[in-house]
Amino acid sequence: MKKRLPYIILFILLAWHAVSYAWQRFPKPEFESGYVYPEYQFTNPRSTAWEYIDVGVLAGVLVFTTWLTLKKRSRNAIIWTSLFSLAYFGFFREGCICSIGSVQNMALALFNENYTLPLSAFLFFLIPILFALAYGRQFCAGACPLGAIQEVTGFYSVKLPRSAEAILSSVPYIYLALAILFAATDSHFIICKYDPFVGIFRLNAPATMIIFGILLLLAGLFINRPYCRFLCPYGVILNWLSRFSGSHLTITPTSCVNCRLCEDACPYNAIIPSNLDAPKEKTVTSRKRFTIYLALIPVFVITGALFTLRFSDNLAMINRNVRLANEVRMETVAGIKAVSQQAVTFKESGKTVEVLYQEEEVIKERYRKGSPIAGAFLGLSLGIALLSLSAGRLRDEYKPDQGKCYSCGRCFEYCPLHNNNVPLL
Amino acid sequence: MAEKNKYQNRRQFVKQAGRLAVALPVAYLSVSLLRKTSAGEFVWQIDPLKCTQCGQCEKNCVMTPSAVKCMHSFQMCGYCDLCSGYLRQGVKILDTAAENQLCPTAAITRKFIEEPYFEYTIDEELCIGCAKCVKGCTAFGNGSLHLQIKHESCKNCNQCSIAIACPSDAIQRVPISDPYKPKAGYNIDSE
What mean pLDDT is reported for chain B?
87
Specify whether A249 is located in the same domain as A221: yes
Considering the domain boundaries, does residue A12 fall inside one?
Answer: no
Cα gap B125→A403, rounded to integer Å? 49
* Shortest distance, CA A200 to any CA of chain B (angstroms): 12
* A110 interface with B at CB cutoff 8 Å: yes
The answer for A 229-258 residues in CB contact with B (under 8 A) is 240-241, 243-244, 246
Q: Provide the domain count of chain A.
A: 2
Specify whether A86 is located in the same domain as A225: yes
Specify whether A163 is located in the same domain as A248: yes
Q: Evaluate if residue B3 carries a pLDDT over 60.
A: no
Q: Evaluate if residue A17 carries a pLDDT over 60.
A: no
Q: Residue B191: pLDDT band by 50, 70, 90 thresholds?
A: very low
Give the length of chain A. Answer: 425
Cβ atoms of B71 and A40 within 8 Å: the answer is yes
Q: What is the pLDDT of residue A48?
A: 78
Specify whether A152 is located in the same domain as A224: yes
B56: helix, coil or strand?
Answer: helix
Cα gap A396→A378, rounded to integer Å? 33
What mean pLDDT is reported for chain A?
89
Considering the domain boundaries, does residue A330 fall inside one?
Answer: yes
Specify whether A128 is located in the same domain as A239: yes
Q: Residue A425: pLDDT band by 50, 70, 90 thresholds?
A: very low
Cα gap A65→A82, rounded to integer Å? 9
User: What is the dihedral sign for C-alpha B122, B128, B134, B136?
Assistant: negative
* Helical residues (DSSP H) of A246-340, grouped into ranges: 283-310, 312-315, 320-334
Q: Evaluate if residue A191 carries a pLDDT over 80.
A: yes
Cα gap B94→A63, rounded to integer Å? 67
The answer for A 257-316 residues in CB contact with B (under 8 A) is none
Q: Evaluate if residue B189 carries a pLDDT over 70.
A: no
Residue in A closest to B144 by C-alpha: A23
Q: Evaluate if residue B5 carries a pLDDT over 70.
A: no
Cβ atoms of A104 and A192 within 8 Å: the answer is yes
Cβ atoms of A373 and A305 within 8 Å: the answer is yes
Cα gap A175→A181, rounded to integer Å? 10
Instruction: Count Cβ–Cβ pairs < 8 Å, chain A vs chain B.
Output: 177
Cα gap A182→A313, rounded to integer Å? 13
Expressed as residue numbers, the domain containing A347 is 283-390
Specify whether A119 is located in the same domain as A63: yes
Cβ atoms of A251 and A75 within 8 Å: the answer is no
Residue in A closest to B163 by C-alpha: A188
Considering the domain boundaries, does residue A270 fall inside one?
Answer: yes
Cα gap A363→A245, rounded to integer Å? 38
Specify whether A407 is located in the same domain as A385: no
Q: How many CA atoms lie within 13 A of B60 on its CB side?
A: 18
Q: Evaluate if residue B43 carries a pLDDT over 80.
A: yes
pLDDT tens digits for range B117-152: 999 999 999 999 999 999 999 999 888 999 999 998
Cα gap B101→A377, rounded to integer Å? 57
B15: nearest Cα among A291, A292, A66, A402? A402
Specify whether A271 is located in the same domain as A294: no
B23-B24-B26-B30 Cα dihedral, nearest 10 degrees? 130
Q: What mean pLDDT is predicted for residues B66-77? A: 90
Cβ atoms of B140 and B83 within 8 Å: the answer is no
ipTM associated with this complex: 0.83
Instruction: Answer whether the bond into residue B65 is a cis peptide, omega within 30°.
Output: yes
Specify whether A217 is located in the same domain as A287: no
Cα gap A294→A308, rounded to integer Å? 22
Cα gap B22→B24, rounded to integer Å? 6
In this complex, do A117 and B38 lie within 8 Å of one another by their Cβ atoms?
A: yes
- Paired strand residues for B175: B42
Q: What is the pLDDT of residue A115?
A: 86
Cα gap A34→B117, rounded to integer Å? 13
Considering the domain boundaries, does residue A131 fall inside one?
Answer: yes
From A51, A120, A129, residue closest to B26, measured CB to CB: A129
pTM over the 0.90 mark: no
Cα gap A150→A226, rounded to integer Å? 8
Amino acid, res. A413: E
A405: helix, coil or strand?
Answer: coil
Q: Which residues of A touch B39 (CB under 8 A)?
A: 118-119
pLDDT tens digits for range B168-186: 889 999 988 888 988 865 5
Which residue would you say has higher pLDDT here, B77 or A276? B77
Dmax over CA atoms of chain B, in Å, equals 104
Angle at B162 between CA B169 and CA A148, to 5 degrees: 135
Considering the domain boundaries, does residue A38 fall inside one?
Answer: no
Specify whether A267 is located in the same domain as A153: yes
Domains in chain B: boundaries: 1-37, 42-190
Q: Residue A90: pLDDT band by 50, 70, 90 thresholds?
A: very high
- Paired strand residues for B42: B175
Query: How far does Cα A45 stand from its chain's mean position?
Result: 25
From A120, A192, A244, residue closest to B159, measured CB to CB: A192
pLDDT tens digits for range A397-408: 899 999 999 999
Q: Which residues of A touch B57 (CB under 8 A)?
A: none
Q: Determine the angle formed by the axes of helices A341-349 and A320-334, rounding to 10 degrees.
A: 80
Amino acid, res. A342: Q
Specify whether A217 is located in the same domain as A73: yes
